[in-house]
Amino acid sequence: MKPGDLAGFCVRSLAGYPLRTGLMLLAMAIGVASVVVLTSLGEGARRYVAREFTSLGTHLLIVLPGRSETTGGPPPLLGETPRDLTVEDAEALRRGSAVRRVAPIMVGSAPVAWGGLEREVTILGSNAELYEIRDLAMAQGRFLPPGDITRGEAVCVLGHKIRRELFGNASPLGAWVRVGQRRFRVIGVLAPKGQALGLDMSDVAVIPVAAAQALFNSASLFRVLVQARHRDAVARAKSAVLDILRTRHDGEDDVTVITQDALLATFDRILTALTLAVGGIAAISLAVAGILIMNVMLIAVSQRTAEIGLLKALGAPPNQIQRLFLGEATLLSLAGAAVGLVLAAGGVIGVVKAFPVFPMAVPAWSPLAAVGVSLATGLVFGVLPARRAAHLDPVTALSRR
């Protein structure tokens, strides 16, 4: 039997039972479509997170005071003395050759008042370089001026939400606002940038770090943001930061440095695992479709007993009959997968249209895997019915009408 004739015969017999064939196609199509759409959602989530991280700024290292380690042990007990991270520490980091910019960060909360209005907001104490490191943009005015970091000028930059709340439509530039017990002159307003890692930059007031130290009466920094010279220098910058701080802190490693890449890689792993898991769950529906195919093919074999008997009488050897039924299962899987891919394309386009912000993307492997799995299930679950057909006794098969 020629391959073309085999395919033709299979198509004819599938077309002979349109309802049954249609239902099986539907089951297979839903399986394939759900695999592709769900993995695309997972991939979209991964890209979304990656994009958010990039918006933090590039080649970023975050230096945190303190370090998680086990202390104690045999006497004499030496208690850990966590050293604060200070502005001087931050300034010292500039000596690293791989370090391009350094921004100390001090965080606190204080009421900001103007006119009769007052609002409790997050106060960021930092320097001029925060602007480049966090990739900020100005809506009005300018950012903190560069200059001596130990001098706390009484100037501040407002997030756009505070500006709207306190000033309404009036221009805040040049106005004096009260922050805690001190007065600051507004020199700029940040452009809306959205959230990054939980900190809403629209609801902060940025003041020079020295002013923040005076305001909160504290010398310790919340963290230090360090920008490496380029991507490849991140590792060097990290070891430089650790070396410098160890020297300054009497040989103790009491800071933690997180690189953006490491954070990103972690999230990337988590989300890739999530995508695979979701894809796996969707693949269960493919297996269900496979079992459905087996079920329906078994019914087909018993429905078409007489036909199988006839084919045997006409001289079809057992393996040829097996090929005919396997061919039908294969065709069903392939056609179902094709319909499923069309459905998936529709679903993906629909999501992209509905949520343009969400960077939904079909991972290249997902349609291939879906079609592969559907074909494999079709074949695996087609074998049993096909074998049953092939080993049917022609005499009993033909004796039935």
Partner 1 sequence: MIRLEGIQRVFQVGDETVYALRDVNLEIGPGEYVSVMGPSGSGKSTLLNILGLLDRPDEGVYRLETVDTTELGDARQAEVRRHKIGFIFQFFHLIPRLTAAENVELPMILAGVAPSERRGRVETALAALGLADRARHRPDQLSGGQRQRVAIARATIMRPRIILADEPTGNLDRTSGKDVVDTIEALNREGLTVVMVTHDPELGARTRRQVQIVDGRIRGDRREAP
Instruction: Give residues in contact with partner 1 (CB under 8 A).
Output: 1-2, 4-5, 9, 12-13, 15-16, 306-307, 309-320, 394-395, 398, 401
Q: Which is nearer to partner 1, 219 or 395 (CB)?
A: 395
Q: CA-to-CA distance for 27 and 4, rounded, in angstroms?
A: 27
Burial 20-53 (b: 16+ CB within 10 A, else e): bbeebbbbbbbbbbbbbbbbbbbbbbbeebeeeb
We find the least distance from the C-beta atom of residue 397 to partner 1, in angstroms, to be 9
Q: Which is nearer to partner 1, 244 or 321 (CB)?
A: 321
We find the least distance from the C-beta atom of residue 386 to partner 1, in angstroms, to be 15
Nearest to residue 386, comparing CAs of 335, 331, 334, 318? Answer: 318
Q: Which is nearer to partner 1, 219 or 306 (CB)?
A: 306
Answer whether 282's CB lies under 8 Å from 35's CB: yes
Q: Which is nearer to partner 1, 16 or 111 (CB)?
A: 16
Q: Which is nearer to partner 1, 123 or 308 (CB)?
A: 308
We find the least distance from the C-beta atom of residue 387 to partner 1, in angstroms, to be 13
We find the least distance from the C-beta atom of residue 310 to partner 1, in angstroms, to be 5
We find the least distance from the C-beta atom of residue 269 to partner 1, in angstroms, to be 54
Nearest to residue 371, comparing CAs of 14, 39, 7? Answer: 39
Residue type, 154: A
Q: Which is nearer to partner 1, 75 or 315 (CB)?
A: 315
For residue 336, what are the CA distances in angstroms to 26, 220, 278?
7, 64, 21
Nearest-5° Cα angle at 24, 21 to 25? 85
CA dihedral 249, 256, 90, 204 (to 10 degrees): -140
We find the least distance from the C-beta atom of residue 8 to partner 1, in angstroms, to be 8
Q: Which helix (H) or strand (E) holds 168?
A: none
